[in-house]
Structure 1
């Protein structure tokens, strides 16, 4: 059995858990919490970067970075979430956009939740917020469509993370995305099941 090292709040781990469910692989993966801040957690031996998600394969080797793990699972699951070219690159670009929203949101979260207020860098926060705002505007202008794919999962997980950590502030300016996420939720029960 494979082992997924994860944190319930991680949007990247959520992406993998949803992908595994849609690919029919969730029964082959044991979900094990990891503490990235704890030096005694075995995660650091499994992934030298000490990051989640990390997928431990049956032979004991590890895959890390959610994009690599998703590609591996899609390969095992018959290529249902990452289609062949030319659509492949649209899906991978959308995944990069969703993951990029998460990257920026996590940097804001670290800056505001982990630094003492007098040490926070508002310019850094604004820089990351600009990335999120531009990415949301792009997806709002043309919400994803077609069969559920990895790009859509990544965007849904990014929106879910913005809801979790930033009280859904994105919703007021993006009605098409709100409607899209509602439809995605109805179509993909694993989205609600993996909510932190």
Structure 2
């Protein structure tokens, strides 16, 4: 199998961390693809009609896309327990919250990098950051207990989302007022799989 990915993508990083945590690197090769909403790479378009990454090319079926679909598939393939039955819907909700942080902050990045300066909207950027900031604060206030205990996909997703904020929007200082989450992230991002996938 082959994973179409780009190292800075937080969505791709979720999958790349999972591959390392459940020992699937010998079964899934990583192929770096340079793609954007304005210029989709042919490989990405062939795998996903939206041209987005990550996409997982399989030998025995059509390509899978959307990071949450890929992570569920690989979790099952490995016989892992990153989506435990006992807290499945909590893990899925927290993973969705992390993905929403990624979506908002990637949109902020695209606004600055892909639109001409005269067309950029500070209001749009601020609105996207408000979404991300509310989600980060909600995790700190209500979800910390779910970030502890055996490894699950919500933990990976949250850490990848926060690391992307640091990468592209470090001046926003998400740690301010989110002390518990900041302390957790300092520990989690030291994991070998996180360090190996750091863009």
Question: Any residues of structure 2 matched to 1:168-179 within 5 Å, and which?
Answer: 169-179=173-183
Deviation at 1:119, TM superposition (A): 1.1
Alignment of 1:140-179 (within 5 A): 140-141=140-141, 142-143=143-144, 144-167=147-170, 169-179=173-183
Of 2-11 and 35-44, more deviation after overlay is shown by: 35-44
Matched residue count: 193
**Kindly tell me: are residues 53 and 45 of structure 1, through their superposed partners in 2, closer, same or farther at Cα, counting changes over 3 Å?**
same
Structure 1 segments unaligned to the other structure (5+ residues): none
Q: Indicate the RMSD between aligned Cα atoms, in angstroms.
A: 1.6
User: How do 1:110-121 and structure 2 match up within 5 A?
Assistant: 110-121=110-121
Distance in 2 (CA, whole Å) between partners of 1:34 and 1:42 is 8
Which residue of structure 2 lines up, in the alignment, with residue 36 of structure 1? 35
SS in 1 for 2:195: helix
Superposed displacement of residue 42, structure 1: 2.1
Q: Which residue of 2 aligns with 1:3?
A: 2
On the 8 A contact 1:35/1:41 being kept in 2, the answer is no
Name the residue aligned to 1:56.
Answer: 57
Runs of 4 or more off by more than 6 Å in structure 1?
none
Match of 2:75 in 1: 74
Q: TM-score, normalised by structure 2?
A: 0.91
Q: Matched residues in 1 for 2:183 and 2:174: separation?
A: 13
TM-score by length of 1: 0.92
Tell me the secondary structure at the aligned position of residue 164 of structure 1: helix
Q: Indicate the SS of the match to 2:60.
A: coil
Cα offset, 1:60, TM superposition: 5.6
In structure 2, relative to structure 1, the CA distance for the partners of 1:35 and 1:136 (3 Å cut) is same
Query: For 1:47 and 1:9, how far apart are their aligned partners in 2?
Result: 19
